[in-house]
Structure 1
Amino acid sequence: MLTLYSYPTLFGVADNNGYGLKVFAFLKLAGVSFQHEHLFDASAAPRGQLPYINDDGVAVGDSDAILAHLSTSRQLTIDAGLTATERDQNLLFSRLLDDLYWVMSFSRWKDERFWPAFRDALLAEHSSLDAAGLDRARQYNFQRYAAQGIGRFEPAAAYARGLDDLALLARRVPPEAFVHGHLPTSADAAIYGFLANIYFSPIPTPLKLFLVEQPNLVKHCETIHGTVMQQ
């Protein structure tokens, strides 16, 4: 049996982290049956990071590695029709979303304007959490941001990076279809994973305010969300 281990829900999405939601959406869109276990503690995960899967005793971490493993082991066809150029584009989307991740995380944990609302939402939805534990998690994230670099940015400069990422997505996601045509692929799952964690949040970060003004991104996010949450 396949089990996905990822962070818990928030704001109506199946994982409050873009990478875990990406894998969740991929599994749903590809028609793969799985169990979903939510964790806050990633210490037992490969590389100490979520998400990861246990595939009949084989543990695989890293969202891209998970998608590659499942595509091969289950001979999934979700990306079978992609051209070499489209596969190259998927890699570019993946790297762009890596950049967007840090800005989105910065907006939740680092920015003093939005941290209280994010903290209170977690506490309201997950009774196992407490304020002291979230403060410790916040300090840990500060260390990560400093090491990665985004923590050395002033907020306006940090958001400029994320807004550039969203603007590029707004130029590349078609208004009436999915990224590569009329059927969703892994690229759509990946984009949804991050957009949904911005779009469905009520917290008015600069990323959220920009995203809601992009009708094609809103439609893409709502379409994928409706599909994966009904299955």
Structure 2
Amino acid sequence: MLTLYSYPTLFGVADNNGYGLKVFAFLKLAGVPFRHEHIFDASKAPRGQLPYIVDGDDTVGDSESILAYVTEKYRVTIDGGLSQGQRAQNLLITRMLDDLYWVMSYSRWKDERYWPLFRDALMREHHALTEEGLAKAKEFNAQRYYYQGIGRYDADAAMARGLADLNALATLIPARGYVHGATPGSIDAGIYGFIANIYFYEIDTPLKQFVVAHDNIVRHCRSIHEAVS
């Protein structure tokens, strides 16, 4: 059976990282049986990043590569009726979610307004973690942010970038149904992966305030959450 390796839970979602939760939701929506193993150590993962899957002799990393692999091998059809234009829109939304990821991560590990609350929540839910270990992870992430670019923003400027991403999503998510119609597709799983890690996040960041204020985003998130729980 296919095994998904991804980060552990936090605040009631199956993975506290948007990419792992995206893959989890996709597998659930697609009806593909899998085991879910929660880990912190990504050293055995392709490119040293989570999530990844092991399926027989195949090991696949990167969330988009995983979705492509699973779609082909298991003949997943949830995106089967999409037009070329809709597939292009999916790619653009996916790339925007990549941008939102960095802001979300920054808000947890670098923004000193929220970092202590995030640290304490991790330690409260995952007792094997230590304050020293998380401090090292914080330092490592600060280096990642600097070289990626978001780390050169001050906190409010970084947050503004994420709010702009969310504002674009708010115009794309319909009041009813899903991005491309009455049934959810892969892009809905992708959006859920990130929005659920904002909406169910118990720390009141501007990102959460924006999501909570938009009924269409909340409805979409809760609908996918119920479908995959």
Instruction: Figure out how many residues of one structure are paired with residues of the other and give that number.
Output: 229
Look up the match of 1:55: 55
Pairwise CA distance, 1:202: 1.2
Tell me, in whole angstroms, the C-alpha distance in 1 between the residues paired with 2:151 and 2:206: 17
- Summarize deviations over 1:85-118 as a string: whole Å, max 9, x none: 1100110010000000000000000000100110
- List structure 1 runs of 4+ shifted beyond 6 angstroms: none
Alignment of 1:10-25 (within 5 A): 10-25=10-25
Corresponding letter in the other structure for 1:149: G
Alignment of 1:1-231 (within 5 A): 1-229=1-229
- Summarize deviations over 1:59-83 as a string: whole Å, max 9, x none: 0000000000000111110110111
Corresponding letter in the other structure for 1:207: L
Corresponding letter in the other structure for 1:56: G
- Summarize deviations over 1:31-83 as a string: whole Å, max 9, x none: 00000000100011000000000011200000000000000111110110111
Tell me, in whole angstroms, the C-alpha distance in 1 between the residues paired with 2:85 and 2:164: 23
- Summarize deviations over 1:157-208 as a string: whole Å, max 9, x none: 1111100000000000001110000000000000000000000011011101
Corresponding letter in the other structure for 2:136: R
Tell me, in whole angstroms, the C-alpha distance in 1 between the residues paired with 2:41 and 2:135: 15
Structure 1 unaligned blocks of 5 or more? none
TM-score normalized with structure 2 length: 0.99
Tell me, in whole angstroms, the C-alpha distance in 2 between the residues paired with 1:170 and 1:220: 11
Structure 2 unaligned blocks of 5 or more? none
Corresponding letter in the other structure for 1:202: E
Tell me, in whole angstroms, the C-alpha distance in 1 between the residues paired with 2:61 and 2:11: 25
Pairwise CA distance, 1:127: 1.1
Tell me, in whole angstroms, the C-alpha distance in 2 between the residues paired with 1:38 and 1:81: 33
Tell me, in whole angstroms, the C-alpha distance in 2 between the residues paired with 1:167 and 1:32: 32
* Aligned residues: CA RMSD: 0.5
Percent identical across equivalent pairs?
64
Tell me, in whole angstroms, the C-alpha distance in 1 between the residues paired with 2:38 and 2:154: 33
Which range moves more in the overlay, 95-104 or 201-210?
201-210
Tell me, in whole angstroms, the C-alpha distance in 1 between the residues paired with 2:57 and 2:115: 38
Corresponding letter in the other structure for 1:15: D
SS at match of 2:53: strand
Tell me, in whole angstroms, the C-alpha distance in 2 between the residues paired with 1:120 and 1:57: 39
Tell me, in whole angstroms, the C-alpha distance in 1 between the residues paired with 2:4 and 2:226: 20
Pairwise CA distance, 1:7: 0.2
SS at match of 2:108: helix
Corresponding letter in the other structure for 1:132: E
